[in-house]
Amino acid sequence: MSDRFEAVTAELRARPRRWLVTGAAGFIGSNLVEWLLANGQEVVGFDNFATGHRRNLPAAGDSRFTFIEADVRELGACREACRGVDIVLHQAALGSVPRSLKDPLTTHEVNVTGTLHLLLAAKDAGVKRFVYASSSSVYGDEPALPKVEDRVGKALSPYAASKQADELYAQIVTDAYRLETIGLRYFNVFGRRQDPEGAYAAVIPRWVAALLRHEVCTIFGDGETSRDFCYVDNVVQANVLAAMAPPKSTAVNRVYNIACGERTTLKQLYRMIRDRLAEVDPVIGVLEPAYENERPGDIRHSQADISRAKEHLGYQPVYGVAEGLDRTMAWYVEQARTAGDQGSRFA
């Protein structure tokens, strides 16, 4: 844990704030809500359950948590949610490059129109800080590694275009209305509560679910495609640091890469997951993946330069890929045991 994060945590415990977390029933949002409540904050959760789950929300009875079931495409609901809020952590979105290629209009409505609704609602409500989830997909066809915030390429999917648009609108609202914003470009986040079900599930939970059922996993391409995988607790740290960066400082009104600054190929990732799961089920240890053609819109390699986040936010990833996978696999295995039907439910 960085010295800055420890200091910020202590400050928040001493003087709690009121937070709005959109996408609160989703993977990253629910982890943010959990951390905020554990550290004495007042939280408003906002979700329409398009991809999130009620089981991810806090148990009933916590007076510090209020939930609004609504859609970010509803401007009135966004205005209601922002009322009396100090800080917005905007995580609600429709992820997945393949989903956006299949349905670009809905991706735009949720990711772009929804974000603009919240930016305007936050501005009108006098919110002090607006932190929003962007994505490494904004780098598009920019070939240089590692990815540096000021060099982006051509978007390769509607999802990537929607995240580029979010960054543009955030900058416009900042310039025109003086709302302080910070964008966080996430690089392949993984961890507890990431849903393995559905056609657009991320690679790690999808492979975990398949392996626990003794099914063959699919790798798109030759397996040498690489990503900068980032454990969810690192992302929670980044959101809190961004929310608490000093007002009117050089840290605000910028975008930051949030990752570990490392590359892992899909072949390496598969072996790391399989070997960990084989410790509890030896049959998994002999399972080999199948290979299919690369998917449209996927980039070949991705790795983040995280020096800007370290310098301006005090961000320091605590968990590398190996440590994050240790924790993640333990969580999925426990979920499978609890469900009593191995592989049927993990989130």
pLDDT at 199: 67
Percent of the chain's residues with pLDDT above 90: 87
Would you say residue 34 lies in a domain? yes
Would you say residue 97 lies in a domain? yes
Query: In this structure, what token pair is assigned to residue 194?
Result: 């990431």
Instruction: State how beta strands 65-69 and 87-90 pair.
Output: unpaired
pLDDT at 174 over 50: yes
Per-residue pLDDT tens digits for 90-102: 999 998 888 999 9
Find the mean pLDDT for residues 224-234: 96
pLDDT at 279 over 60: yes
pLDDT at 342: 43
Q: In degrees to the nearest 10, what's the CA dihedral of 20, 25, 26, 32?
A: 50
Q: At what angle do helices 114-125 and 158-177 cross, to 10 degrees?
A: 20
Would you say residue 268 lies in a domain? no
Task: Name the pLDDT band for 340 (thresholds 50, 70, 90).
Answer: low
Q: Cβ contacts of residue 257 below 8 Å, gap of 6+?
A: 136, 147, 148, 149, 185, 187, 304, 305, 306, 308, 309
Catalytic positions are 159
Would you say residue 96 lies in a domain? yes
Burial tier of 307 (Cβ tally within 10 Å: 0-12, 13-18, 19+): middle
pLDDT at 287 over 60: yes
Would you say residue 210 lies in a domain? no
Find the mean pLDDT for residues 71-96: 97
pLDDT at 344: 46
**Count: domains in the chain:** 1
Instruction: State how beta strands 65-69 and 42-47 pair.
Output: parallel
Would you say residue 123 lies in a domain? yes
Find the angle CA(198)-CA(201)-CA(202) to the nearest 5 degrees.
Answer: 175
Find the mean pLDDT for residues 258-285: 96
Query: In this structure, what token pair is assigned to residue 302?
Result: 């991705």
pLDDT at 295: 80
pLDDT at 135 over 60: yes
| Strand-pair partners of 304 | 147
* Domain membership of residue 136 as a residue range: 3-188+232-261+303-319
Task: Name the pLDDT band for 300 (thresholds 50, 70, 90).
Answer: confident
pLDDT at 282 over 90: yes
Distance CA 224, CA 266 (A): 6
Distance CA 1, CA 152 (A): 30
pLDDT at 347: 40
* CB of 239 closer than 8 Å to CB of 131: yes
Find the mean pLDDT for residues 225-240: 97
CATH of the domain at 42: 3.40.50.720
Would you say residue 205 lies in a domain? no
| Count of H-run helices and E-run strands, the chain | 12, 13
pLDDT at 341 over 70: no
pLDDT at 105 over 70: yes
Distance CA 23, CA 46 (A): 6
* CB of 52 closer than 8 Å to CB of 29: yes
Query: In this structure, what token pair is assigned to residue 227?
Result: 């990503």
pLDDT at 303: 95
DSSP H or E segment with residue 231: strand 230-231
Find the mean pLDDT for residues 257-286: 96
Would you say residue 325 lies in a domain? no
pLDDT at 346 over 60: no
Write down the mean pLDDT value for the chain. Answer: 94
Q: In degrees to the nearest 10, what's the CA dihedral of 327, 329, 334, 336?
A: 160
Per-residue pLDDT tens digits for 112-121: 999 999 999 9
Question: Tokens 């993990």 correspond to what residue?
Answer: 346
pLDDT at 125: 98
Nearest to 263 by CA among 220, 302, 222: 302
pLDDT at 345 over 50: no
What global pTM score does this model have? 0.94
